[in-house]
Structure 1
């Protein structure tokens, strides 16, 4: 969500853009050339007179290494024929810098930013103020690979007022977070990993009462951090895996869902029984992880990407320790769910100030040629990876040295094949892959619940209020769990939630949802 200073900058930007766009339009107006529509890469090349390709200028998100010297840049120059000068946004306050560059008409041929709400807001604002080129005509003429490779739903979701001003790089729709348990504690108490809420309660009671950690009455059955009032996996068993969920055809925030009271009753009861860390409200992420890796806690809410670090720290402290994720838990009515991301990892647009918009599209189109894209993303077979039985396995250390930051060069992905190519990244450590695969490959399809707002366009009320509403929900729920608030005050809280942007967000979100749901 944009901060106040960024909002003020956008107001100023309106006036600046109105002037700068007039100048920039003269260079951008050539984007709708009269060249005949081409079909296929060969026809696209034929549509342009032979001659040297211009050097392009691209603005990228921050990374720790210089794009210009990173191996992927050299490969792309050879594969596409385009030399590109890469610049980076700063790590600190990148939105402010981006505003200045766009307003001043800096002649970038491509600008790639994160796909987060704040950057989507800037993208929509730039498009509406005439600072960006409509890519539709350019893609029709010079982008056959773009049209073939990128999910049509993603392209549609990237439009502003019906026009496509950016090429989206789609977020991979994976489950990331669940409950990670000490398998050796389970073995000591003679139990299996829980699969239902009732089994979860039984396991946590055994962890508290039978001292599998050797900590006496100081065993912590389940630890979480203070920002985790909605505990992944447990919330899903109540039909609350995402912040907004479909309730009778309407996207509804968790705190307005009828199941919210049941979730609070369940988790507050766990807390009263001493089954949830009594200090959880004060826990930072690192605090909760330390409690787990030091052997004090038997279960933790965790992202699968943390497995190698957590496993190493745990076995260093307790060499015989073993841990694994538990399955998606089922509630009383059979509900289950782990939140899966959906949306844009990043977006790429062409400012009106670009000197080479047609070549920018041709460059991005060339990057999506199937073999070029695969080599850009994961390298060369038998040099950076091996391929066997449909699986890509990285060769180390060259894969990490030369392709670890390849994702920062993406301007759209081969959406049918990239999820498979991408798995080479989690095979860098088989513990990582096994954790990812348990939640995403082996789990039943119904366990994965995709964020229904993932492809929503920028919505002013929703974006403005989301962080405030999210913070309110977490704080109130945390207080309910450890008894600082009473459920009898829920109606008062809901009234405050609605007046603080909840009603406006609900209206805006569901006006959009009514148009897109099938």
Structure 2
């Protein structure tokens, strides 16, 4: 179908368009391109007053969470890194849900932590364009060899702008993205097989609606929520795509790809036949969808590949509907018999050093220290017998409260150079991640392992241009908001009005910057191809 595209096909980063507008960066002065700020000599000599290195940490608002700046993990950091470097590592909590907005304020006020981070690559690029970040090539060469070796050139390349290293991307060890899940116990009651294509899924959803195998009040065949939240349409849209050249596949906005309109028309049909959550477009927090799933009302849903294992889903579902048995399913097959799925690229979170920092050298030393396998293992898993136990060679977490509690899976908020379990082997990483989420429940561990395998089959990853798309930076916030609104409006539209509405919304989208983004991606794509010849 896609000429020249292999199993991990390229796709346009900016079609996702999740960029968030960023305020101007302070501290730029005329020093754009400066690379080193040594700060106090105390960290070099081990004498004098300790240097305070500030490091961002997400505040996820977890009930019962410990002091994010004083717990088992921060004590380990200060004991093992701080003391040998005559430094005090101070963690600066930033609300996870407001992290970009908070970074904007901190950067503008020259108060951002020495090591700051975000998942939004466009935000980092904007900071760099404004001269607000250190370039890190010299620092990495001098103090980051262990870090460079662990991440590798490919991962590091995602943190470059205009050929210079402006951030340190974390290595993403698990690259699955969306997943799809169906009530196997409902299928068994109906005597129906697990669906393997769109037609079979449609028939299954109709049976869920009409026969209500769970005997619940207000059965919901397919649960979802407002666009841009945890719930998605899985890999439905790509299953409708028609033939494209590699360039078209990479550079064309999803709204103009052949088949996307038909995909939304199919979803519109399902919605108008009451097969999809009736008020999903109003559910902007996913609370309603989560409640429907955990109350045992939902037959099928699509979300992150590991979503069923999250605490807010797994435990309430077991309490409210103990017989519910969700299994991972692969049901959106294209005309070529493939199950195309977008996967994450190899990079995760972006750590960077603001120009206002006086401790850039120490910051790189800290990230380099974290690349030590012994350090990384402890930060992810803690002490055996206290924080984890080994089961068949796989560390399984022991539920903790107080200072030993991890507020993010595998302590990812304290392990900035890696996203996901790191045991040096993908299979072990998946099993470890699944065990950490499932808290000893083997059925959920199997669900996670199955979901990961399904959602990395026929997968494609983002095309790396090596340069930023300036139009995407400029129009990204507007287009990202439009993407969400368009999707919701098209699904709930009256069938007779769908075609005209689709054409109208897509034109508005292209006029609002979509065309500029697409044109620039075509140019950048052709430049990459020309350079590779």
TM value normalised by structure 2 = 0.77
Q: Quick one: which of 463, 472, 491 aligns to 2:473?
A: 463
The answer to whether the Cα contact below 8 Å between 1:28 and 1:355 also exists between their aligned partners in 2 is: no
Instruction: Summarize the Cα distance change of 1:246–1:446 in structure 2 as closer, same or farther, 3 Å threshold.
Output: farther
Q: CA deviation at 1:226?
A: 3.3
Secondary structure in structure 1 of the residue aligned to 2:175: coil
Distance 1:50 1:471 in 2: 51
Distance 2:505 2:68 in 1: 49
Residue in 2 aligned with 1:163? 164
Unaligned runs of 5+ in 2: 1-17
Q: 5 Å matches for 1:28-43?
A: 28=36
Distance 2:525 2:279 in 1: 39
Q: CA deviation at 1:194?
A: 0.8
Residue in 1 aligned with 2:127? 123
Q: What do residues 144-186 of structure 1 show as CA deviations (whole Å, max 9, x unaligned)?
A: 2011101311211201211113222234443343332222211
Q: Quick one: which of 399, 404, 417 aligns to 1:412?
A: 417
The answer to whether the Cα contact below 8 Å between 1:204 and 1:275 also exists between their aligned partners in 2 is: yes
Instruction: Summarize the Cα distance change of 1:461–1:182 in structure 2 as closer, same or farther, 3 Å threshold.
Output: same
Q: CA deviation at 1:103?
A: 5.7
Residue in 1 aligned with 2:233? 231
Instruction: Summarize the Cα distance change of 1:319–1:395 in structure 2 as closer, same or farther, 3 Å threshold.
Output: closer
The answer to whether the Cα contact below 8 Å between 1:237 and 1:329 also exists between their aligned partners in 2 is: yes
Q: Quick one: which of 509, 514, 523 aligns to 1:511?
A: 523
Q: CA deviation at 1:212?
A: 1.5
Residue in 2 aligned with 1:395? 398
The answer to whether the Cα contact below 8 Å between 1:115 and 1:347 also exists between their aligned partners in 2 is: yes
Distance 2:291 2:331 in 1: 25
Secondary structure in structure 1 of the residue aligned to 2:337: coil
The answer to whether the Cα contact below 8 Å between 1:57 and 1:107 also exists between their aligned partners in 2 is: no
Residue in 2 aligned with 1:374? 377
Q: CA deviation at 1:86?
A: 1.2
Residue in 1 aligned with 2:264? 264
Distance 1:325 1:448 in 2: 16
Q: What do residues 38-81 of structure 1 show as CA deviations (whole Å, max 9, x unaligned)?
A: xxxxxxx9xx7786795341231342644441212222233332
The answer to whether the Cα contact below 8 Å between 2:271 and 2:492 also exists between their aligned partners in 1 is: yes
Distance 1:294 1:54 in 2: 53
The answer to whether the Cα contact below 8 Å between 1:305 and 1:432 also exists between their aligned partners in 2 is: no
Residue in 1 aligned with 2:214? 213
Q: Quick one: which of 52, 55, 59 aligns to 2:51?
A: 55
Distance 2:126 2:357 in 1: 18
Residue in 2 aligned with 1:111? 115
Distance 1:329 1:337 in 2: 8
Q: Does 2:29 match 1:18?
A: yes
Q: Does 2:449 match 1:448?
A: no
Distance 1:414 1:289 in 2: 25
The answer to whether the Cα contact below 8 Å between 2:168 and 2:352 also exists between their aligned partners in 1 is: yes
Distance 1:107 1:494 in 2: 39
Secondary structure in structure 1 of the residue aligned to 2:214: coil
Residue in 1 aligned with 2:144? 143
Q: Quick one: which of 498, 510, 513 aligns to 1:501?
A: 513
Q: Does 2:326 match 1:323?
A: yes
Instruction: Summarize the Cα distance change of 1:353–1:300 in structure 2 as closer, same or farther, 3 Å threshold.
Output: closer
Q: CA deviation at 1:505?
A: 0.9
Distance 1:125 1:89 in 2: 26
Instruction: Summarize the Cα distance change of 1:297–1:93 in structure 2 as closer, same or farther, 3 Å threshold.
Output: closer
Residue in 2 aligned with 1:39? none
Distance 1:136 1:365 in 2: 13
Q: Quick one: which of 351, 356, 359 aligns to 1:348?
A: 351
TM value normalised by structure 1 = 0.79
Instruction: Summarize the Cα distance change of 1:354–1:269 in structure 2 as closer, same or farther, 3 Å threshold.
Output: closer
Q: What do residues 377-399 of structure 1 show as CA deviations (whole Å, max 9, x unaligned)?
A: 22233432233544222233379
The answer to whether the Cα contact below 8 Å between 1:171 and 1:343 also exists between their aligned partners in 2 is: yes
Which of 502-511 and 169-178 deviates more? 169-178
The answer to whether the Cα contact below 8 Å between 2:209 and 2:221 also exists between their aligned partners in 1 is: yes
Distance 1:358 1:400 in 2: 30
Distance 2:219 2:104 in 1: 51
Instruction: Summarize the Cα distance change of 1:314–1:95 in structure 2 as closer, same or farther, 3 Å threshold.
Output: closer
Instruction: Summarize the Cα distance change of 1:148–1:470 in structure 2 as closer, same or farther, 3 Å threshold.
Output: same
Distance 1:199 1:493 in 2: 31
Distance 1:30 1:203 in 2: 63
Q: Which has the higher Rg, Structure 1 or Structure 2?
A: 1
Q: CA deviation at 1:140?
A: 1.4
Instruction: Summarize the Cα distance change of 1:212–1:246 in structure 2 as closer, same or farther, 3 Å threshold.
Output: farther
Cα RMSD over matched residues? 3.9
Distance 2:473 2:239 in 1: 28
Residue in 1 aligned with 2:88? 84
Distance 2:493 2:101 in 1: 42
Unaligned runs of 5+ in 1: 34-44
Secondary structure in structure 2 of the residue aligned to 1:168: strand
The answer to whether the Cα contact below 8 Å between 2:78 and 2:88 also exists between their aligned partners in 1 is: yes
Distance 1:99 1:444 in 2: 35
Secondary structure in structure 1 of the residue aligned to 2:330: coil
Secondary structure in structure 2 of the residue aligned to 1:446: coil
Q: Quick one: which of 458, 479, 485 aligns to 1:475?
A: 485
Instruction: Summarize the Cα distance change of 1:511–1:171 in structure 2 as closer, same or farther, 3 Å threshold.
Output: farther
Which of 325-334 and 117-126 deviates more? 117-126
